[in-house]
Amino acid sequence: MSQAEKTPPGRRQSLLSVFGSVFASMFGVQSSKKHKEDFGHGKASTYIAVGLIATILFVLTVWGVVQLVVRVAQPG
């Protein structure tokens, strides 16, 4: 049974499902079936908030890795 069949009409998605959809779409692997489910059952404000959080976490992770590499690469 797919995720679309598990979510009854008119019912909102779980926060875990929203995070999964946002991360899948960030990597470009979102299926069209899941995309339709997101638009049918999801709330835009939830996706925007989760998307902003995911973007901030990504930027902070890249920044942290760069800082670590720069520290390790400096002659000491």
Domain count, the chain: 1
Is the alpha carbon torsion for 41, 46, 48, 54 positive or negative?
A: negative
Q: How far is CA 65 from CA 54, 62, 72, 76, in A?
A: 17, 5, 11, 19
Predicted pLDDT at 11:
66
Please determine, for residue 1, whether its predicted confidence score (pLDDT) is greater than 80.
no
Q: What percent of the chain has pLDDT over 70?
A: 83
Three-state secondary structure call for residue 12: coil
The residue segments making up the domain with residue 67 are: 3-73
| Predicted structure pTM score | 0.71
